[in-house]
Structure 1
Amino acid sequence: MPTRRSMNQALVAAAVALLPGTASAQALPRARSVVLVHGLFADGSCWSEVIPRLQAAGLDVTSVQNPLTTLEEAVASARRVLDRQEGPTVLVGHSFSGMIVTEVGADPKVGALVYVAARAPDAGEDYAALAGTFPTPPASAGIVYDGDEGRLTEAAFLRDFAGDLPPDRARVLFAVQQPFRKALLTGRTTRAAWRSKPSFYAVSTEDRTIDPDLERFMAKRMNAKTVELKASHLSLISQPQAVADLILEAAGRKPGRP
């Protein structure tokens, strides 16, 4: 009987066969701007370690405050920020906001997409069903609800979300955790920008919030330029230089140079 792993490998092979060349083989416009979008259990400040590294390279950077209410409202918040950018822009999403990058990234202003341990659904795809074909990540058991709002418990946040950060740093991030609405999880993308835009993906190999093999599957399916980081779900904080370097590559720039 086929195992779950063998079935996942077959899915990867079938998906890759449908796609065009890799991101590195496509022409990358030199970006002027970067728009960063955060996911669940966070707010826009989670990019604070990456932002100065991008600014030092001469890029205009904006971190979106994702409302985490519905997918439609989250997409609208990112689109408003994107509309304010001048010239080619790199759109970057962490965790859940890969949904937003996948939807908004079709905008002609977007030159490249970067996914950081992020969801990367196909158009109309049921992400929960896709994730269900991989092992359930430990963080899922730590989600609690207050009526319509969901959040991670402190124990799950420190252990399963920010496991490679010093506990004192993780507790600060826990304190600014933004609850999400249940309706957010029911949304589906209507398009898959990664099918037409150069894409990059940072896999977190120690991730306990999204299964690392699911991240690998999504990255390979989109033929993304992929890096693997020995990091928790919060690689953007524990390994900000590596994440910034991937974004700089997507922006058509060399790390550390304007």
Structure 2
Amino acid sequence: MQIDRRTFSSSLLAGAVTALAPGAARAAIAAPSRSRNVVLVHGLYADGSSWSEVIPHLLAHGLNVTAVQQPLTTLPDAVAACQRVLARQDGPTILAAHSFGGAVATEAGMAPNVSALVYVAARAPDAGENFPDLAKGFPSTPASAGVVFDGDEGRLGKESFLRDFAPDLPRSKAEVLYAVQWPFNKALMAGRPQQAAWRTKPSYYAVSTQDRVINPDLQRFMAKRIKAETIELPASHVSLLSHPRAIANLIIKAAAEH
């Protein structure tokens, strides 16, 4: 029996546990939000349910939240999907992205209602920049060797997924995340953003210091280059699941300030 991925993601979110990793939380931000909407963009090896631990915190703060289900076919397709969701928002909107989703947000963030960008262990390329070329300036990460292809469709193998993508999650939770992994097309990796919203929009960045997917020093380089307000978390690539309150508070802070 096949299960519709949107239905499954909704069910997963409904049962989300908002557990807090020790020492990762920051104090809840009481300031009223200037931006009432949040749009969340997932990355490779995942779908919208990867935000399931962050979303309850944002909803509890009174924010309107939408997680984009990226097609992961080409960058223009992914940007268009994000733009459609942004167009449905009523008023200023925070655009938050994880992993490869940062490339999507970098271009889609040019939408006039996007008030600020939040990057979570995410790519933050410049306009016309090839991210793999940028990454060559830093040591490669273990996950890069774990990608497997079936024709033009790529995914992260299970061993690498558990060891490199989500090593700081309980194995049972990491296996659920693996089960909803959404494959990507090779053409996606060739995409280059046509514009870079971070050049004109306020930006925030959450660095994962134990990341085995995107080199932490590369994350720090990008955060500094985009002049982002930056936090560092002792987390794997999936800080949005292992440190959800800290990620939620960074988004809430962006909403309160912009």
| TM-score, normalised by the number of residues in structure 2 | 0.86
Report how far residue 79 of structure 1 moved.
Answer: 0.4
Structure 2 residue aligned with 1:103 = 107
SS in 2 for 1:189: coil
4+ residue stretches of structure 1 with deviation over 4 A?
Answer: none
Partners in 2 of 1:180 and 1:109 — Cα distance?
28
Partners in 2 of 1:107 and 1:43 — Cα distance?
23
Report how far residue 115 of structure 1 moved.
Answer: 0.2
1:39 and 2:43 equivalent? yes
Partners in 1 of 2:69 and 2:127 — Cα distance?
24
Q: For residues 85-132 of structure 1, give each alpha carbon's deviation from its aligned partner in whole angstroms, at most 9, with x where no partner exists.
A: 000000010000100110011111000000000000011111110001
Structure 2 residue aligned with 1:193 = 197
Partners in 1 of 2:166 and 2:72 — Cα distance?
19
Partners in 1 of 2:96 and 2:213 — Cα distance?
18
Partners in 2 of 1:210 and 1:117 — Cα distance?
7
2:239 partner amino acid: S
Structure 1 residue aligned with 2:88 = 84
Counterpart of 1:229 (choices 222, 230, 233) is: 233
Partners in 2 of 1:124 and 1:77 — Cα distance?
20
1:170 and 2:177 equivalent? no
1:210 and 2:214 equivalent? yes
SS in 2 for 1:34: strand
Structure 2 residue aligned with 1:4 = none
1:115 and 2:119 equivalent? yes
Figure out how many residues of one structure are paired with residues of the other and give that number: 226
Counterpart of 1:150 (choices 154, 177, 181) is: 154
1:234 partner amino acid: V
Partners in 1 of 2:110 and 2:185 — Cα distance?
26
Structure 2 residue aligned with 1:74 = 78
Counterpart of 2:134 (choices 119, 130, 135) is: 130
SS in 2 for 1:108: coil
1:200 partner amino acid: Y
Partners in 2 of 1:231 and 1:124 — Cα distance?
30
Report how far residue 32 of structure 1 moved.
Answer: 1.1
Partners in 2 of 1:172 and 1:51 — Cα distance?
17
SS in 2 for 1:217: helix
Partners in 1 of 2:179 and 2:43 — Cα distance?
16
| TM-score, normalised by the number of residues in structure 1 | 0.86
SS in 1 for 2:149: strand
1:249 partner amino acid: K
Structure 2 residue aligned with 1:50 = 54
Partners in 2 of 1:176 and 1:128 — Cα distance?
25
Report how far residue 216 of structure 1 moved.
Answer: 0.2
SS in 2 for 1:163: coil
1:94 and 2:98 equivalent? yes
1:221 partner amino acid: R
Q: Identity percentage over the alignment?
A: 65
Q: For residues 48-80 of structure 1, give each alpha carbon's deviation from its aligned partner in whole angstroms, at most 9, with x where no partner exists.
A: 100010011110000000010000000010000
Partners in 2 of 1:185 and 1:93 — Cα distance?
17
Partners in 2 of 1:49 and 1:171 — Cα distance?
16
Report how far residue 148 of structure 1 moved.
Answer: 0.6
1:178 partner amino acid: W
